[in-house]
Structure formats: structure tokens, C-alpha cells
Chains A and B, each alone.
Chain A
């Protein structure tokens, strides 16, 4: 019987530290750690972005925990999984999200990491507002 995976899922309103999160999923048993880092990009459809604001629904803290739990349950070889999403106002190059998964071997770590990123994108009740260099703004994915 395998040990329960170590899960760490949270929304934070401060700078995300990738190495700190890698440390959380690392153990003497893990032979592979896969990470994903999502950054604020300067160009969106050719328009220059100056800042990005992320806002979360009240349920986001619960949902991010459920996502971590479900992905780890599906990938039984995963030893630890961390998902951290930032909220508030971010600048170009700031880290918006980090996912890190550890396992004995790379395939499980990479698979769980990729799937967790997709789940965050579709299931997490978080929105982002892009502010452009001409002063206009838009909520991404909304008409």
C-alpha cells in the first residue's frame, strides 16, 4: 500500500517562490520533480500588456484543494503535488501560477503536472483583467 500523497494547494497574494514549492514536494523517495511556471506575458494578440489583475471567487480556495486531491488520486504514483496560484495585481514577468509534482519516475511527475495545469485553467474560479498600454482593459475570456 502506497503512502498518502503530500498535497499543497493555495491562493496567495504575494510573490510565488518556485524553489520553495519544489522543496515542499521533494523527498528522499522522489526521483523526479516536474514543475510548471505560468508568467505574465507582455504581448496578448499583438497588444502590449502593462499589468494583470487576478481575482478569485470565495470558492477558489476549496476548488484548488479539490483539484490537487483529484489529480493526485488519479495519478497514484505521484508522491506530492503542489498548486499555488497568485491573486492581485501582477506585472510583466511575475509568476502567476506554479504546479510541482514529484514521483519516483519522470512520466508520472510530468503527467500529473500537465494535467493539474489544465485543471487549474478550466476549473479554478479565478478571473484575469488585462490592462493595455493604451489605458484600456479587458476581462480575459469574457465578451
Chain B
């Protein structure tokens, strides 16, 4: 079990209604299902198109076991320029 600090950005922050929250989860997949349950379908819709960074590194395996305290950044599609 890990303590996951979830940080929301841009549209994900607007949909979540908070800047960040902390959940206890074993995997990123479990963490996502918890925060979607907490925050509702608006966030679910945005998360589907987001990229995820775990401690700054792109998440490839949603089912990898997590431990300790980790930071999960939820990044909507970029729109610079």
C-alpha cells in the first residue's frame, strides 16, 4: 500500500475541484478508480485523455505495485503556443 499524492492540473483541476488530494492505493489503476469515485464523472471524462506522471516519470504500467509516498501528476492534453 502506498500513499499517493495526486496533483491535478488545468482541466483536471477544474473537474476535480481541488488542487490535490491524497489516497492510499496499491497501484495507479486503483488510485484512479478511487479518485474518479471521489470526484465523479466530470473528472473521469478528463482523466481518460490525460497523461500521468509518477514521481515525474510517465506511467506505462497501471498495475505496478506502489510503495511509500509517491506523487501522481494528472496532465490534460497540452495546449501551448
Co-assembled chains A and B: yes
Chain B: interface residue total (CB-CB under 8 A) = 19
Chain A: interface residue total (CB-CB under 8 A) = 24
CB distance from A24 to the nearest CB of B (A): 20
Residue of A nearest to B49 (CB): A143
CB of A139 within 8 A of CB of B79, answer: yes
Query: Which residues of B38-70 are within 8 A (CB) of A?
Result: 45-46, 48-49, 53, 56
State the A residues within 8 Å of B (CB): 38, 54-55, 57, 59, 85, 96-97, 117, 120-129, 139-143
State the B residues within 8 Å of A (CB): 9-12, 14, 45-46, 48-49, 53, 56, 73, 75-81
CB of A127 within 8 A of CB of B81, answer: no
CB of B11 within 8 A of CB of A142, answer: yes
